[in-house]
Amino acid sequence: MVNALTRQNGPQYFNHPLIKKDCIEFRVYQNNISESARNKNTLVILPTALGKTVIAILVCAEFLYNYKSKRVLIMAPTKPLVAQHMNSFFSVLRMPEDCITAVTGKNLPPTRMAIWNRKEVRIVFATPEVVKNDLAENRLSLSEFSLLVFDEAHRAVKDYAYTSIARYYVQQSSHPVILAMTASPGSEKRRILEVCNNLSVEQIEYRSEEDGDVKPYINPIDVTWKWFTIPQEYKYISSTFRGMLEDKLQFLIERGLLRKKHPQWIFKSDLISLGEEIQYKLELTMEELRGPLYAALVQQSSALTLMYCAELIESQGSPSLKAFLNRIEKDGGKAHQLLLNDNRIKEIQTLINSLKIEHPKTIYLVELLKQRYSLFQSINKRQHEQDNFTFEKATDLTNERPKALVFTHYRDTAKKVVEILTENGIKAARFVGQAKRELDIGMSQEEQSAVLESFRNGEFDVLVATSIAEEGLDIPEVDLVVFYEPIPSEIRYIQRRGRTGRKSSGCVTILAAKDTIDERYLYASKRRMEKMKQILSSINPTLKPIQRTDVLANPMTADEVSYFESRRIVLDDRVDKMLSPHLETIKVDDLLPPPQSTNQSIRMKDKKRMELLSLESHTLTNGFRREIDSAARRIHTLIAKSGRQPLDVDIIQQSLSLENSVLLEALKKLEKLKRIEWVDDSRVILSENLAKIPGSTYDVYVEKIIHGRALVIVNGKWHARLNHYDYEGPRELLRKGSEFRAVGEVYRDDGVCSLRVKQIV
């Protein structure tokens, strides 16, 4: 049903009943891949910026049109990505707002269940953990979904949520179709096969920039490697760390804990695997026999820290190393404290506190950016001096001001680079993830969006970002991408590189320090790129089809499509009406708006449309509604802590210091969502606590939190692992030293004693 609409003397566009006219420009490779993906479970591997989302839209539109009683589920790893995909689909599909919705961890289980049961919802966007949990608790069945889309599919390894969701789907659906998308699945054949097996992939559609159907649509990217020699002071500090590291590694080798016999060939991944192995052995060993394992864990942790410190001084410089050592001095564990007491570390701390030498990478970066902006200003000045210079040309030059994206693996480096660029008159901003850390609270989703919007509007020229800017997010087009350090991951290399060269030629500059970890990472990345291409060509013939029941298409009628479109037009008209006061100052007859102004008005409309989706069913003011939502969450947490004991409303009000109006509206909301029930006129209880939950009752003590799970003691005698996906209760209870009673079950997972908590009592 998808085809190209030819326009005389102009571009071609995809033509489909559910896609807006002249909205998606036709590309041969996107058409070929989308047609291939309709009948088989497909893993689409496409470099960043070549339009994986467009392929997903084309395939989804076809399924929504041909199977009008079925739905489509689109998953992405993070809430910002979910919101971005929802906005992208909504902006191009001819579908009314009540047919599209999102489900994330912000929605309470009863709310999610209500959404899953709403038959008018045709497209659901969700985070995978929520889908996995709702499948496990029978709040969701995938039998009504004709298509599942897994974005960033390279994550589908081990026990990541994508794995179990795909398994549920193949079991529950008579005609399952999966579309999985990634920029790179990895370079190891074992890993790629694991992704394919976990997602029941039947074929791989891989394209690189060299493929014939892709070449016409890409721009050249100039990749440059810039090498630096680190200062003698840095070399001395690095050699001290590496000497101490060798002692730790030798200790572990002599005790048979590391299989490799020479410290030179032991890498970070080896130490991380060893740490997990020791933790696993500790869980299964009686307390009185754990001494040697604890000693080994201290040595492993110290070795990992020393390796990290050596990398910091070699690749990042003394400011990043200083920040790290200050941080572990303040709140480090036993292994960190033992290291800090070593006289060699004390000497290094004294040295870096007085060291004023910047890493040569930083000095080069400042000069590189200064040259680019100096060149731009020179061209700008010559244009101004021309006789035919106009206001429109001035606006165009402002919009064409070059933008740069600097990637670094470390937050401390990002902070330092922004400071130095700012000191040198270069407008820059930091862009990091949401995770909180000592002295660095991270950035909220709203703050991230605001920074990207400011960058897009030209309020600053350089974005200095950590890995948060690699995956999926709608980062504005840039002229230059700088890797502050090489990365060994071919996945991340492809993602970073794809941030330039979308609409015009781009540049990538990779900064690397000679004879350091940078050199090893750089060559590792190049090797893995070549290896991935070779492996993909060999895997496709080995993939096997899955069993499906034939299903007849039940396409939408012309009247049904028209009805969809008419409801959507009503929303668009309301948006235009709301925006008219902001747009009426632009007179097309008097002045042709520059491209950026046009894009801004489009983004303004899209943003307003998304706001209207949530305003449709609410009459309260935004501020009051947010206050009620916040109160409802706090009330729910407080009631959950009381378990099966009803809680008096007066106690809730006193504990949370809520106004009467807010308290009553929040309780009404929780009651409407079936999260709470009234026991009598003054007491409430969680609805789930009124029902008898199958399972045994256990006393649980949280011994420690590590690697996204808790190690607990059950009934004072059993050590068990509590994974985050096995826990249904308030997150506040998952703290070291916390005690609670819960209904659940004890089971073994690969030989490890594990606990599943279904309810706090």
Which percentage of the chain shows pLDDT scores above 70?
83
Cα Rg, the chain, nearest whole Å: 28
| Summary mean pLDDT of the chain | 82
Of 183, 217, 251, at which residue does a domain stop? 217
CATH code assigned at 84: 3.40.50.300
Taking each helix axis from N to C terminus, what angle separates 268-284 and 291-311, rounded to the nearest 10 degrees?
160
Which percentage of the chain shows pLDDT scores above 90?
37
Average pLDDT over residues 314-340: 87
Is there a domain that residue 617 lies in? Answer: no
| 341 and 443 part of one domain | no
The pLDDT score that the predictor gives to residue 623 is: 52
Q: Give the DSSP H or E segment for 739.
A: strand 739-749
Average pLDDT over residues 334-361: 91
CATH code assigned at 281: 1.20.1320.20
- What tokens appear for 243 in the block? 């000497």
The identity of residue 484, as a single letter, is: Y
Q: How many residues does the chain have?
A: 761
Question: Are 322 and 353 in contact, with CB atoms under 8 Å apart?
Answer: yes
**More confident call, 642 vs 193:** 193
Q: What angle do CA 717, 721, 727 make, to 5 degrees?
A: 110
**More confident call, 54 vs 520:** 54
Long-range contacts of the stretch 745-750 (C-beta < 8 A, 24+): 745/695, 745/696, 746/696, 746/698, 746/714, 746/718, 746/720, 749/721
Average pLDDT over residues 378-404: 55
Is there a domain that residue 544 lies in? Answer: no
pLDDT in tens, 241-291: 999 999 999 999 988 888 777 777 888 888 888 888 888 788 778 877 888
Tell whether the model's pLDDT for residue 614 goes beyond 50: no
The pLDDT score that the predictor gives to residue 621 is: 42
pLDDT in tens, 520-551: 887 777 777 778 878 887 888 899 999 899 88
The pLDDT score that the predictor gives to residue 575 is: 47
Kind of pairing between the strands at 506-513 and 480-483: parallel
Tell whether the model's pLDDT for residue 757 goes beyond 80: yes
Please state which of the ranges 283-292, 549-558, 620-629 shows the lowest mean pLDDT: 620-629
The pLDDT score that the predictor gives to residue 583 is: 40
How far is residue 463's CA from residue 519's CA, in Å, rounded to a whole number?
25
| 344 and 404 part of one domain | no
**More confident call, 260 vs 577:** 260
| 740 and 636 part of one domain | no
C-alpha distances in angstroms, 3 versus 12, 38, 63?
10, 14, 15
| 208 and 257 part of one domain | no
Q: Give the DSSP H or E segment for 135.
A: helix 128-136
For residue 478, what is the DSSP state? B
CATH code assigned at 744: 2.40.50.140
The pLDDT score that the predictor gives to residue 290 is: 84
| 387 and 485 part of one domain | yes
Average pLDDT over residues 146-170: 95
| 151 and 32 part of one domain | yes
The pLDDT score that the predictor gives to residue 380 is: 58
Phi then psi for 685, rounded to 5 degrees?
-150, 155
The pLDDT score that the predictor gives to residue 586 is: 32
Please state which of the ranges 14-23, 156-165, 680-689, 719-728 shows the lowest mean pLDDT: 680-689
Please state which of the ranges 129-138, 340-349, 535-544 shows the lowest mean pLDDT: 535-544
The pLDDT score that the predictor gives to residue 474 is: 66
- What tokens appear for 629 in the block? 């939502």
Could you identify the residue written with the tokens 């050699």?
239
| 646 and 745 part of one domain | no
Of 328, 354, 380, at which residue does a domain stop? 354
Is there a domain that residue 614 lies in? Answer: no
| 313 and 345 part of one domain | yes
How far is residue 360's CA from residue 345's CA, in Å, rounded to a whole number?
24
374 DSSP β-pair partners: none
Burial of 525 (0-12, 13-18, 19+ CB in 10 A): buried
| 321 and 346 part of one domain | yes
| 562 and 658 part of one domain | no
| 460 and 329 part of one domain | no
Is there a domain that residue 668 lies in? Answer: yes
Tell whether the model's pLDDT for residue 224 goes beyond 50: yes
How far is residue 515's CA from residue 577's CA, in Å, rounded to a whole number?
62
pLDDT band with cut points at 50, 70 and 90 for residue 210: confident
Is there a domain that residue 615 lies in? Answer: no
The identity of residue 311, as a single letter, is: E
Tell whether the model's pLDDT for residue 578 goes beyond 50: no
The pLDDT score that the predictor gives to residue 506 is: 81
The pLDDT score that the predictor gives to residue 367 is: 93
pLDDT in tens, 22-34: 889 999 999 999 9
The count of structural domains within the chain is 6
Average pLDDT over residues 487-509: 72
List, in order, residues 6 or more apart from 570 with CB less than 8 Å away: none
Question: Are 165 and 129 in contact, with CB atoms under 8 Å apart?
Answer: no
Query: Best-predicted range by mean pLDDT among 451-455, 578-582, 605-609, 620-624?
Result: 451-455
| 365 and 464 part of one domain | yes
* Domain limits for position 713: 696-760
The pLDDT score that the predictor gives to residue 19 is: 94
DSSP-H helix ranges across 137-203: 161-172, 189-198
Of 354, 375, 398, at which residue does a domain stop? 354
Is there a domain that residue 613 lies in? Answer: no
How far is residue 41's CA from residue 501's CA, in Å, rounded to a whole number?
30
The pLDDT score that the predictor gives to residue 510 is: 92
Tell whether the model's pLDDT for residue 398 goes beyond 60: no
Is there a domain that residue 669 lies in? Answer: yes
How far is residue 196's CA from residue 117's CA, in Å, rounded to a whole number?
30
The pLDDT score that the predictor gives to residue 93 is: 93
The pLDDT score that the predictor gives to residue 723 is: 87
Nearest to 86 by CA among 450, 650, 361, 474: 474
Is there a domain that residue 608 lies in? Answer: no
Average pLDDT over residues 41-70: 93
**More confident call, 363 vs 443:** 363
